[in-house]
């Protein structure tokens, strides 16, 4: 089955640690996205990539980093510089990143800072 997988489902981080969230897709999509969701709010864009080895900052990139070495993979690292990282993180992909393209979402990773 084609789709987007995210791991782990739940992640706990101590203060001062970096953690990496995995996102993999087998849809052969060029564009991939990371969003953050806070309780009672809509999603906000962290980073996006429309092609391998290239990515752009979204609205809330501070304290996060990404890489796009393979078409299928777009891992997100939450660094210790992120002041309030506890949130639900969602990865998405679309065919080419065009404005009419549908974005398909993974099941999400819930990150909690202890």
For the chain, the residue count is 114
A 10 A CB-CB count for 28 gives: 10
Interface mask (CB under 8 A) for other proteins, residues 46-75, using x and -?
A: --x-x-----x-x-----------------
SS3 call for 10: strand
Q: Which segment (12-20, 44-52, 65-73, 74-82) binds other proteins by CB under 8 A? A: 44-52
- Could you tell me the two tokens for 37? 């969701």
Options 1, 83, 102, 114; binder of other proteins; rule CB under 8 A: 102
Rounded to a whole number of angstroms, the minimum distance from the CB of residue 15 to other proteins is 25
Rounded to a whole number of angstroms, the minimum distance from the CB of residue 102 to other proteins is 5
CB 82, CB 64: distance < 8 Å: yes
């Amino acid at each position: 089955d084609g789709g987007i997988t995210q791991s782990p489902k739940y992640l706990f981080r101590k203060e001062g640690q970096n953690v990496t969230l995995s996102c993999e897709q087998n849809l052969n999509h060029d564009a991939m996205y990371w969003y953050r969701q806070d309780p009672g709010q809509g999603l906000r864009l962290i980073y996006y990539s429309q092609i391998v080895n290239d990515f752009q900052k979204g609205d809330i990139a501070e304290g996060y980093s990404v890489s796009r070495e393979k078409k299928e993979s777009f891992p997100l690292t939450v660094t210790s510089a992120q002041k309030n990282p506890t949130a639900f993180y969602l990865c998405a992909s679309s065919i080419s990143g065009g404005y009419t393209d549908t974005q398909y979402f993974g099941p999400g990773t819930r990150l909690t800072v202890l």
